[in-house]
Amino acid sequence: MKKPNPEFWTLLDRLTVQSKIVIDRPAGSSHPCYPHMIYPLDYGYLEGTTGGDGAGIDIWVGSLPEKMICGILCTADVLKNDVEIKILFGCTESEIEQILSFLNDSEFLKCMVVWR
């Protein structure tokens, strides 16, 4: 089995450091289209970047004081017909479990973690 390419994480670190993190959905806020879904952590995007949906690269920001990328989420959404990655930034394992529960709660969207 091939080992992950560490240069991937280096480039993702660079994108994250060079971009402003915009939190447009703070922890405790409702999803704009699905009000019953409450964001467990701060969620936003990297300004000036482009993700799989044409908008900024998505990022979840956790509570760890040392902010670093601990992994990414890969999502498959059959309602939007897209696949995306979402950066996990400064998240504890417990927070990542909360995010997984939040995103995997729908029959139309599923995700998995790729750990750094």
H or E element, residue 72? strand 69-77
CA 47 to chain centre: 14
Count of structural domains within the chain: 1
In a domain, 78, yes or no: yes
pLDDT in tens, the chain (116 residues): 677 788 999 999 999 999 999 999 999 999 998 899 999 999 999 999 999 888 999 999 999 999 999 999 999 999 999 999 999 999 999 999 999 999 999 999 999 999 99
Q: Distance (Å, rounded) from C-alpha 90 to C-alpha 65?
A: 7
Task: Judge whether 95 lies within some domain.
Answer: yes
For residue 19, what is the domain's CATH number?
A: 3.90.80.10
Q: Cα separation of 32 and 49, whole Å?
A: 22
CA separation, residue 80 to residues 60, 88, 105 (Å): 20, 22, 16
- Examine residue 1 and state whether it is found in any structural domain, yes or no: no
Range of the domain at 58: 6-115
Q: Is pTM beyond 0.75 here? A: yes
